[in-house]
Structures are given as structure tokens and as C-alpha cells.
Amino acid sequence: MAREFQRGHKAKISDLTAGTDLYVGVQITGPGLSFDISCFGLDANEQLSDDRYFIFFNQPKSPEESLQLLGAQAGDTESFRVTLDRIPANIHRLSFTATLDGAGQMSQVGPGYIRIVAGGEEVVRYAFTGSEFTTERAVMLGDFYLKDVWRFAAVGQGFDGGLDALLRNFGGEVAEEEPAAPEPVAGGAPPAFAPPAFAPPAQSTPPPSFGGPAGPPAPVPAPAPQPVHTAPTIVAPMPPPGGTVPPPAPAPAPFGQPAPAPYGRPAAAPFGQPAPAPYGQPAPAPYGQQPPGPPQGVPQGVPQGVPPGGAGLQAALQPYKELPTGQRWTPQNGQLMRVDLGEGGSPVLARQGSMVMYQGKVDFGYKGAGFAGRIVGNATGQEMQLMRCTGKGQVFLAEEGAHLHPVELQGDGICVSAENVLAFDESLQYEVRRIEGHGIPGGALFTMLFQGTGTVVVKTHGTPVVLPVTPTTFADCNAVVAWSAASQVIISSQVRLRRNAYPGHSGETVNLQFRGAPGNFIVVQPYEV
């Protein structure tokens, strides 16, 4: 439970949490107000002696990345990642500040806070309101400071002046920008610099082609709005060298069906099966054998090192272009999964830390299992540390290069170990299932059962194999990944575990035997956990 601080309260970080990798969130709003939220890394004299430790919108991280600006998320106006055990010895204080950008006063702000989150749980919060200030234009919210150990203090001190005045107060210098001399441009005065708008304008001008001057801008009608599930996050496709236009993308497949392969690419293979060879190409050789002829992937007469589509940066990047398909879950490659979040759609639950990139307005919140859920998870080894992804946009998920496989459920069920779950739709029901057996500690094994309508993303080490269930199907409990919920599972132990200390045992002590009607399956990975 988070501790509520008042102005002036202080505490050791070790009394709040045992962790040193911390999340700091700041929430501050006001009608018509805009804010700059920053972190100053100060030395023993409380001066900014190294401006590389002034973390703000234009410098989002320190050199060793012990301080990182994360952006707005989880209901916070701005957020930071602070890794205390990586902060250099010359930094003794971290001061988190908020300054007004434009007109206004701090007395106009609404209820706000600064909070610290460790391990997904909020450990301390200092709340404030505009009634605590008058004409100030900046406020020092909270400090991490080193006094034999790292401590946190709720400051809440107003400061006259904006960000420039606060920077000078900490001994920094405000760089004065000198206007650059305009370069002559044929045909008229140069256009004035303007930053791009966040939202695309109603009319835009196509970019000029490489190697020639740009023609006069021509008005282009505004594109019709696209549904979020069909809108790619890359704004425009990259044309191949020579200016040829690629063929149009195929129509999106229905939800839950495999998308048609792009022109010139082989169709996607089923879960765990090798992809068929393209038309006109020889089939791949069996594993461990070299196919006859020239090396695979290098056409005859083409020097090695040159991309098949020609030379140049665009041709080199073309094979890695994003693959929007109109589906909610879209594998970008074997190790990267994209999920599209839409307004009114079901949120997604994903393993904490699995987000590698996102676009749009997406919020990430902690998903707790509750007290009973934590007890069950700890006792069974099936605890999942999850985050809740909501909003509108695209989120890309991955974890340590594991192979990812989306499995869509249509009212049926699948059993998956919690260790092999990356993400799933919140609409699915899930619970811990017990597998009875003798000869193992505790007399049982456990797994997670997912049921309902939605998708669960299963991760494996290497390419798995899917086998049908027969009366003679056995699998090592350390290699099996998932199985159909209707399968009957029996623990088969060749020898007792207590005999593992004796030489001469096979090493395969606990296996799972699967039984069930035709149509049941198991998924096994080429790796033992």
C-alpha cells in the first residue's frame, strides 16, 4: 500500500522499497495550461555541474541511462525511470520540477501528485493542489537525495520565473540561439521553418523524387479516416529503386484467419511447420543437408552483399517493412508481435516489460492479481506479472527473442504454462489448473487454463512441433508448452525423484502422458526449461 506524504516528509528509499529501478510519475494539469516537467541531476553543492544530467524533452536520458524520460503513460502527465545503483558518484540530488510553458500561474493547477512505483506497485505519493501556490510559475515537486543512502523528500516549493530562471538557480546556463543567415533560394524567399503538427494536415504535398528539384505543390484531398485495425503505423510505403510502384496490398483477412501472403512472398506456414517454397523455387533441403547448386538466397550472376531488390537504403529496408493486415494480432516476424487497440475494444494484458514500441494514445497500467491470486501464483509457480494496455494505437511486443505464436480461441480452451504466455485478450478467462500425480514433490503439477473468445500469444524457445494426442503420446514436462484443454493428462514417473542422486538413472524422471479423442494436440518446444 502506498504511503501518503505531505510537504516536507522524508524517508529512506530502502524503507519504501527494496528495489533500485524505480518509476517516477508526475500528474499536473490546469485549464489552458501547458507544462515542462524536468529532472535536474545536481552535485554535492546542489548545482548542475554537468548539463548532461538535465533531463527534459530535448535530452531524454543521461549518458549511462540511469535517468530516462518515458513520456505520458498510466495516467501520468510525465514519467521517468530512475536506476539508483547506476547514478554516478558525482550526482547527489535529483530534483523533479514542473514549470509553466506560456502564460499562467501555479495557483491555477488542479489536484496533482508525484509518485514512486517499484516492481509495478506504487510505494509513495505526494499530492498537491493549486491552493498551495500563488503567482509562482514553477514548482520543485520532490527530490531524491544522497545522505549516506538515497532518500526521498516531498518538496512542494514554488519558484518565481519559468524554466530558464529555474535552470539559472541550479547554476546552469541558458543557451541563446542566434538566427542563422538565410540561404538564397532560386525563385523566391525561403519558406519559414515550422515544426510538423502532431496530427496530419488536411492537405499535404507529395515529397519530391530523389535526384531532381521539387515541382510546385499541388493540393491533395484529405484521405478518408481508416479504422485503427487497418491503419499502418508507417505513413507511406518506401518505393523501390527506379520509381516503380509495388502492386497493391491484398485485402485484409477476416479476424482470426491467416492473412494472404504479399505478392512475391510465400504464404505463412501453420503453427510449427516450415513454410513452402515459392513457386518455381526448389524445396528446402532436409535439416542438416546442403541443397545442390549455388548458395541459397544468392541468385546466380548477382554479387553477394547486394539486396535482391537492388542497391540502396530503401531496397535494403524493404524486407523489414511493417506488415499491417487488418487483424488485431499481427506477427511482424517470428519474434515480434503487433496488437491493434481500438476505441471500445477489449484491453490487452501483456507480460510486464514486453513492450518494445508503441504508436498512438496508449496507456500502460499495472494489473494486480490480488492477495489471493498472489498466494496461488507463488504456491503453484503460475504467477504472471502483467500490465494492462488500453487506448487507441498499435503496441509491439517481444521478449528476449522468443518465438511468438498467436493462438485464437473461439469458445474453446488451451492449457499453457504461465512461463510461456506473453500476452492475451482481457476478454479471456484464465485460472490455475492442477495436474494430479504421484512421485513428484507436492504430488501435483500446475498450468494455466485459458478459455473463451480471444487470442493468447504463446512464446517458445525455437520452432515448436504440434503433435496429435494418441494413447501412446508422452512428453517431457520441461519441454511441453501447451495442450488442448480437453486432453486428459497423466503424470508418468519412471523413477522416483529421490533416486536422482544415484548414478545410472536416465535423467528423464517425470513425463506427461496425454490421452483424448481425435482432434486433441500438444505443443512441444526444442528446449527444456
Q: What is the pLDDT of residue 190?
A: 43
Whether 310 is covered by a domain: the verdict is: no
Q: Which of 166, 34, 56, 24 is nearest to 109 (CA)?
A: 34
Are the beta carbons of 491 and 440 closer than 8 angstroms?
yes
Of 170, 193, 223, the position where a domain reaches its end is: 170
| 224 vs 317 pLDDT, higher one | 317
Average pLDDT (307-322) is 74
Residue 303 pLDDT level (bands cut at 50, 70, 90): low
Average pLDDT (359-366) is 88
Average pLDDT (408-426) is 89
Residue 200 has pLDDT above 70, yes or no: no
pTM for this model (two decimals): 0.41
Whether 519 is covered by a domain: the verdict is: yes
Q: In what order do the strands lie in the sheet with 112-118?
A: 3-5, 121-128, 112-118, 21-27, 78-83, 67-69
- For the record, the C-alpha cell of 119 comes out as 516492481
Residue 274 has pLDDT above 80, yes or no: no
Residue 461 has pLDDT above 60, yes or no: yes
| 375 vs 91 pLDDT, higher one | 91
- For the record, the C-alpha cell of 334 comes out as 517470428
Q: What is the pLDDT of residue 312?
A: 79
User: Which residues span the domain enclosing 109?
Assistant: 3-170
Q: What is the pLDDT of residue 240?
A: 47
Tally of structural domains, the chain: 2
| Lowest-confidence region among 6-15, 134-143, 171-180 | 171-180
Q: What is the pLDDT of residues 41-56, one digit of tens each?
A: 999 999 998 999 999 9
| Lowest-confidence region among 73-87, 125-139, 266-280 | 266-280
Give DSSP secondary structure letters for 475-486: EETTTEEEEETT
Q: What is the pLDDT of residue 259?
A: 52
Residue 123 has pLDDT above 50, yes or no: yes
Q: What is the domain-level CATH number for residue 395?
A: 3.60.160.10
Q: What is the pLDDT of residue 346?
A: 82
Residue 127 has pLDDT above 80, yes or no: yes
Residue 314 pLDDT level (bands cut at 50, 70, 90): confident
Q: What is the pLDDT of residue 447?
A: 84
3-state secondary structure of 167: helix
| 166 vs 238 pLDDT, higher one | 166
Whether 125 is covered by a domain: the verdict is: yes
Residue 328 pLDDT level (bands cut at 50, 70, 90): confident
- For the record, the C-alpha cell of 35 comes out as 507544462
Count other C-beta atoms under 10 Å from residue 416's C-beta. Answer: 25
Calpha distance 12→25 (Å, rounded): 18
Residue 362 has pLDDT above 50, yes or no: yes
Give DSSP secondary structure letters for 225-246: PPPTTT--SSSSPPPPTTSPPP
Q: What is the pLDDT of residues 475-505, one digit of tens each?
A: 887 788 888 888 878 776 544 433 343 343 3
| 525 vs 314 pLDDT, higher one | 525
User: How, if at all, do strands 473-476 and 510-515 pair?
Assistant: antiparallel
Q: What is the pLDDT of residue 27?
A: 96
Whether 392 is covered by a domain: the verdict is: yes
Beta strands in 190-341, from DSSP E residues, in sequence order: 329-333, 336-341
- For the record, the C-alpha cell of 126 comes out as 505526494
Classify residue 73 by its DSSP letter.
B
- For the record, the C-alpha cell of 463 comes out as 520452432
Give DSSP secondary structure letters for 324-375: --SSSEEEEETTEEEEEE-TTSPPEEEETT-EEEEEEEEEEEEE--HHHHHH
Q: What is the domain-level CATH number for residue 10?
A: 2.60.60.30
Q: What is the pLDDT of residues 134-151, one digit of tens each?
A: 888 999 999 999 999 999
Residue 97 pLDDT level (bands cut at 50, 70, 90): very high
Q: Which of 308, 443, 432, 301 is nearest to 372 (CA)?
A: 432
Where are the alpha helices (H) located in 94-219, listed in sequence order?
163-169
Are the beta carbons of 33 and 102 closer than 8 angstroms?
yes
Q: What is the pLDDT of residue 284?
A: 53
Whether 146 is covered by a domain: the verdict is: yes
Of 127, 146, 170, the position where a domain reaches its end is: 170
Residue 276 has pLDDT above 70, yes or no: no
Calpha distance 202→206 (Å, rounded): 13
Residue 178 has pLDDT above 50, yes or no: no
Average pLDDT (296-300) is 48
Residue 21 pLDDT level (bands cut at 50, 70, 90): very high
Calpha distance 255→232 (Å, rounded): 17
Of 113, 136, 170, the position where a domain reaches its end is: 170
Calpha distance 510→495 (Å, rounded): 8
Counting residues of the chain whose pLDDT is more than 90, the rounded percentage is: 33
Whether 58 is covered by a domain: the verdict is: yes
Residue 448 has pLDDT above 50, yes or no: yes
Identify how many contiguous H helices and E strands the chain contains and give both numbers: 4, 27
Q: What is the pLDDT of residue 170?
A: 84
Whether 217 is covered by a domain: the verdict is: no
